[in-house]
Amino acid sequence: MTAPTGIRTRIREWRRSQSPSEARRKSLQIAKQCIGSGWFDAKVRIAAYLAHDGEVETTALFEYLRELGRTGFVPILRKEPRRMLWFGPYAGTASMRPNRYGIPEPPVDQGTITDARELDLVFMPLVAFDPRGNRLGMGGGYYDRTFAFRLDEPASAKPRLIGLAFEGQKVERLEAQPWDVPLDAVVTEAGIYRFPAPSA
């Protein structure tokens, strides 16, 4: 089995090799799949990332939320505990500043900070995924630490975790670690992969 670092390197290179127009076209197809899924129908609190390093673009999802008169949330790096996330309202990039990875995030304001448990659905970035719902991220562990409570709670516990990826990011098998938080679904330009709850 290929080591995670090898998979991460290979797929990141593949992802960057796509032309901007091809990545944009696929990202719009993915956004249409998400919008048509019914996930936006209820007035749920939805978070998504801002694309970086060739990830699936999420601009269309935030635009759709705005059309619905609703606010989307984006990740904010926490100082304490380290390598975990808060979420803050997204109102465009004008009022945002880049974090240590160069990704824009809203200013930390205790009045608007949202804890992960307060969200209903989170669209997550990933480097690779497999047919069992395992996710390989960038290696920092931010999302796994932030949503670790999902490992100890029923599979129906919120928020639902939905990965966004290009079809070329699917691999045959990823070796899951005890701390890996599985996904509920992954959306690619080819369709929606829904994963059954892991057996106890």
Determine the Cα–Cα distance for residues 74 and 62; give it in Å rounded to an integer. 10
Say if residue 194 carries a ligand binding annotation: no
Report the CATH superfamily, name and number, of domain 4-194.
NagB/RpiA/CoA transferase-like (3.40.50.10420)
pTM: 0.91
Say if residue 38 carries a ligand binding annotation: no
pLDDT in tens, 136-154: 998 888 999 999 999 887 6
Say if residue 101 carries a ligand binding annotation: no
Say if residue 191 carries a ligand binding annotation: no
Say if residue 68 carries a ligand binding annotation: no
Question: Could you tell me the residue ranges of all domains in the chain?
Answer: 4-194
Which positions ≥6 away from 31 have C-beta within 8 Å? Answer: 57, 58, 60, 61, 64
pLDDT in tens, 87-124: 999 988 777 888 888 888 988 776 778 889 999 999 99
